Amino acid sequence: MKIGVLGTGMVGVTIATKLVQLGHHVTMGSRTPNNHAAAHWAQLNGINASQGTFADAVFYSEFVFICTKGEVTLEVVRMIGPNAFGDKVVVDVSNPLDFSRGMPPSLLICNTDSLGEHVQKALPYAKVVKTLNIVNCEVMVAPSKGGDPTMLLCGNHPDAKATVTALLKDFGWTDIVDLGDIKAARGTEMLLPVWLSLWNIVGHPHFGFRIVGR
């Protein structure tokens, strides 16, 4: 598939690299053409790896991963615009973390709303799936590194969730739970505070939540 990855940070680079390894054609998008990190990544990852603006990454793809920092996600998707996204599948990996009050971060949106819901509202024709946001990026693309936790996903479009589930299986996920519509993003985004506490206790980020007793 032709896949766009928005964001050039650790999450974007890790997911984009895994997608190229799986044989997909990946365009990494950033605010500016020839962003240093994106250009470097494209150079390292062969002919299936290219880079451009956010709009390029959406335009040249059938499927888009949002790997921006949560605090800029809505600004980025609105800048690209709902018409550019059309009815593509959009995987929102970002978390609405607020670092402005120091560590640990709190959430910018939670409880009666979620970033996932805001992304779906901003892109009304797109099929937004919230997933992968509950583990470290290295675990996202290699769940066995995190003890094979459960992956949770949600979204309003069953066909998009089926497409994303197939890709999650290619990433190595064996236990995937569909929580229902995009409102369930409230719960998965609200896992971040306990994840951050656990990171501090465990001493490394390669862990996750397995839902047991089902």
Binding residues (CB under 8 A) for a copy of itself: these are 101, 106-107, 110-112, 139, 145-149, 152, 154, 177-180, 184, 186-188, 190-191, 193-198, 200-202, 206-214
Q: Where are the alpha helices (DSSP H) in 7-111?
A: 10-21, 36-44, 54-59, 70-80, 82-85
CB of 7 to a copy of itself, least distance (A): 24
Number of residues that make up the chain: 214
CB of 92 to a copy of itself, least distance (A): 16
If DSSP codes are grouped into helix, strand and coil, which group holds residue 72?
helix
CB of 104 to a copy of itself, least distance (A): 9
46 or 102, CB closer to a copy of itself? 102
Closest CA to 116 of 213, 58, 190: 190
114 within 8 A of 189, measured Cβ to Cβ: yes
CB of 212 to a copy of itself, least distance (A): 3
173 or 207, CB closer to a copy of itself? 207
Q: Tell me how far apart the 2 most distant CA atoms of the chain are, in Å.
A: 49
55 or 191, CB closer to a copy of itself? 191
131 within 8 A of 169, measured Cβ to Cβ: no
23 or 213, CB closer to a copy of itself? 213
